[in-house]
Copies of this chain bind each other. A is one copy, B any other.
């Protein structure tokens, strides 16, 4: 492939949304299903989700949370109990109304046995869990309750895009109950920190921790906190949220406890979640015009060995050499799991074979032909470097340095994404610059805002931008609102968003 050609058409610069779809296709991560707005997550994509699950699950357990499982279907009467919750979720949901199918005169299947009370497929589980908490919690001795579930969720989205917004998606939802609001707020922040660390250390995706404005809050929350990442088109992606629910749900569901002092009190609750959307964020943070780029800590496999066989007489000896190297590499562990090593023995031209792995984003490719075998060497290429950039290493060397190389790739991807984010974040002090910024290339605009929701709505309508968050590391900063001129305004980030 010549340097002016790319494996993915269109390129990011040509058509970013279409490039995104083509990356998913080229890497074989997922495909559109015959079910409206739902995707089929294919093995290479699902393995990324398994790695996300494994790491986060360990972190949740290490912080005292236990997994459990609540039903998929929620009775309508439960949704009815929390007014804001209805408002937020009733708009878009799958409603189960029948419990049987019958065959009609035309021989077609049709719904039969109407239910007395309809159910919705969970868009989130606060209501069912609130009801359970009210039964489980009696005394201060029962607190805190710290639980989590890995589950599928359905929200009837109008416009869907694979991984970023699908009718059904996979997620985890943590739910906790505490004796005091201070403790619940501490939990809300602790889990936000878990998400931020995970995003940066594993997905190599720099994020900004912040608080949402009222208009972007979770329906039924006192405060919603988020991690926001910048994609390569400079738009923001909300990658995880942690909600301080205060006593909204404990009052709707009557979750009370007897305090040590013998007084009846309402608990304070939290909930927090990340979803398969993280995979969309991962794709858009690192991938390039040649395909997917995967941070090694979360990649399904770390290394592919590509035997290069020009002469059938060499086949067996080259494959034996490759198998031996694979076995040695598979003895190694990388960040808590066995090093993943593929050997591609397909009968394809070498270039085509190598490019298929470039597109799949595997961090390291090792080519082994007759020459390499004779010299007890491998030819190493890294996915974060140019396709033609190869390094000859001895067999012994590669086994020794592979984890350092992977760490280096991970660090490089993070640094590259962080630099991109910083270069496209601008502190803006007047409204004209603000408009120019978003009429131009855009990015993250750090500005002062007086807290007026009408301004938010106006900017959304006028420039298509929203307040992504009030960054926590700038929570103390105060200045003049660029929209109203009002003093003592807080610092926020405006951006276009997914």
Interface residues of A (CB under 8 A from B): 33-35, 38-43, 45-47, 49-50, 66-76, 78-80, 86, 90-103, 108-111, 118-121, 128, 131-132, 147, 151-152, 154, 156, 168, 170
Contact = CB atoms under 8 A, between A and B. Distances in A.
**Nearest 5 CB-CB pairs, A to B?**
A43-B66, A38-B71, A95-B98, A90-B101, A41-B69
A95 B73 CA distance: 12
19 contacts: A33-B132, A35-B75, A35-B128, A39-B71, A40-B70, A40-B132, A43-B68, A46-B67, A72-B72, A72-B154, A73-B154, A86-B103, A90-B109, A91-B100, A94-B99, A95-B101, A97-B98, A97-B111, A100-B156
B96 A43 contact: no
Contacts of A33: 70-71, 128, 132
Given A97-B98, A100-B90, A101-B93, A71 B111 contact: no
Given A35-B73, A35-B119, A46-B67, 17 more contacts: A34-B75, A35-B71, A40-B68, A40-B69, A43-B66, A47-B67, A71-B168, A72-B152, A73-B94, A76-B101, A80-B108, A86-B101, A91-B100, A93-B99, A94-B98, A94-B119, A95-B98
A100 B93 contact: yes
Contacts of A103: 86, 90
Q: How many copies does the complex hold?
A: 2
Nearest to A50: B67
Given A70-B40, A132-B40, A100 B95 contact: yes
A366 to B, nearest CB: 22
A38 B78 CA distance: 15
A359 B92 CA distance: 44
Contacts of A68: 40-43, 45-46
A164 B42 CA distance: 31
A242 B35 CA distance: 27
Contacts of A35: 71, 73-75, 119, 128
Nearest to A78: B34
A98 B46 CA distance: 29
Contacts of A147: 43
Contacts of A49: 69
A75 B37 CA distance: 12
A307 to B, nearest CB: 17
B40 A71 contact: yes
A205 to B, nearest CB: 22
